[in-house]
Structure 1
Amino acid sequence: MENYFLFIFMAIMLIILPGPDTAIITKNTISKKKAAGMQTTLGTLVALLIHTLAAVFGLSALIVKSAFLFSILKYAGAVYLIYLGCKSMVYILKKQPIAIQENGQENKYSSQSNFKQGFLTNILNPKVAVFFLTFLPQFAGTGNNAFVEFLTLGLTYTLLTLIWFFFYINLINFVSDFMKKPSTLRVVEGLTGGVLILFGLKLALEKQ
């Protein structure tokens, strides 16, 4: 495998850049709790694994080459991001921001929702598929082991994403006493809602 450690360095630089997944994980960690952030991260990781396998088996290439399939994913992802953003904006109009669920049944549904948000945000983003097809091959060889190397790079990227968000969520949780004040929660919901809407519009307006 060529320049594996360079790949790790470049991957870390890309992972820490804020994106839609960072915005959603931040919102869920602050407005709910640490577990919610980890559940959202898990959804993100599963989506990344699927994108890795899709790239390995050539499905991502099919999506990128097909303007129709690319557009379907792009607009679906954009609509979902805008929906989440608008949903967050609605909370700032309420007297009480999102409360941490106490009921066990509500926690179950909340966990599913957190996971779904992280999963759908990434799986419906065709830019992630393009990224895996353009970034990973630069560090993989072209010999008989190309399949294994490609898969290893994808798994490494997913693992680095897990490590970063684990650190990030714990950092947010460390200052959660201030961040969980009702007034602060409204600001966080408003900011992340606006960011998600902007990400959604940006995705929708971008060309293939």
Structure 2
Amino acid sequence: MNQFPLFMLMSFLLILLPGPDTGLATQNTIVYGRKGGIQTVLGSAGGTLVHTLAAVLGLSALIVKSALLFSVFKYAGALYLIYLGVTSLWALRKAKNTVSEKEDIRHKGRSPLLQGLFTNMLNPKVAVFFLTFLPQFLVTGADPLIPFLLMGLTYTVMTLIWMVLYVCLLDRVGAWMKRPGVQRAMQGITGLVLVGFGLKLALERRP
């Protein structure tokens, strides 16, 4: 692990790139507030830890090598993202400026924590990432168990810190973000983004 500083630098640059987790955190921060956004981030971090353990145990390699398993995870993840985006857009049709109707936007019974967890876990691209990115920083011939765990935990913590800061910043942007019209517009945009990520994932080819 003599390349650990380089690993942290590359990880930070990759974390800055927006993806489905960022889109979901953005939407849930707008809809549920800072608490919902942070819960989403914690769920995504839990999914990353699951992928870390899967990489260590060799399950990620199995998913990547098996066309059937890769397709199952790919389409399940794509359908879930599209479902989240469509239900968000559908809720906007009923949204008004009254408090009672705003409750419809909040999608009663939906857990931001579980949304973040499932969105991350069902994305086979994360498994591919762990199997292609992490080995580049291993010493040739070294046992990958401890280094994989260390790098996976480091990547998770770095992502968690960045996303929590992002959610807090988004929540504190200003009073205009809390206006019903702006919230509905932002929710509509992030809903479309989630649908777009879902379609992109569905069209993803197995490496």
Q: What letter corresponds to residue 59 of structure 2 in structure 1?
A: L
Q: State the alpha-carbon separation in 2 of the partners of residues 100 and 157 from structure 1.
A: 36
Query: Please, which of 120, 123, 140 is the counterpart of residue 122 of structure 1?
Result: 120
Indicate the residue corresponding to 1:59 in structure 2: 59
Aligned sequence identity (%): 54
How far off is 1:140 after superposition?
1.8
How far is the alpha carbon of 1:12 from its aligned partner? 0.8
> Partners in 1 of 2:116 and 2:174 — Cα distance?
21
Going from structure 1 to structure 2, the CA distance change for 1:63 and 1:56 (only over 3 Å counts) comes to: same
Aligned counterpart, 1:173: 171
User: Deviations for 1:103-145, whole angstroms, at most 9, x for unmatched residues?
Assistant: xxx7xx55xx101110110100000000000000101224444
Matches within 5 A, 1:1-208: 1-96=1-96, 99=102, 109-110=109-110, 113-208=111-206
Question: Which stretch of the first structure deviates more once superposed, 73-82 or 25-34?
Answer: 25-34
Question: Aligned-pair distance for 1:152?
Answer: 0.4
Q: Distance in 1 between matches of 2:165 and 2:148?
A: 26
Residue deviations 1:71-124, cap 9 Å, x none? Answer: 0000000000000010111122123378479xxxx7xx55xx101110110100
Which of 88-97 and 61-70 deviates more?
A: 88-97
Shift of 1:180: 1.7
Which amino acid is the alignment partner of residue 124 of structure 1? L
State the secondary structure of the residue aligned to 1:188. helix
TM-score by length of 1: 0.91
Contact kept, 8 Å, 2:44 with 2:119, in 1: the verdict is yes
Q: Which runs of 5+ in 1 are unaligned?
A: none
Q: Which moved more, 1:155-164 or 1:178-187?
A: 178-187
Residue segments in structure 2 that go unaligned for 5+ positions in a row: none
CA distance in 2, matches of 1:145, 1:204: 34
141-150 vs 154-163, greater mean Cα deviation: 141-150
Amino acid at match of 2:87: K
Q: CA RMSD in A?
A: 1.7
Query: Does structure 2 conserve the Cα–Cα contact (< 8 Å) formed by 1:7 and 1:139?
Result: yes
Give the letter for the 1:26 counterpart. T
TM-score by length of 2: 0.91
Q: CA deviation at 1:166?
A: 1.3
Deviation at 1:33, TM superposition (A): 1.1
Please report how far the alpha carbon of residue 167 of structure 1 lies from its aligned counterpart in structure 2 after TM superposition. 0.8
Does the 8 Å contact 1:33/1:100 carry over to 2? no
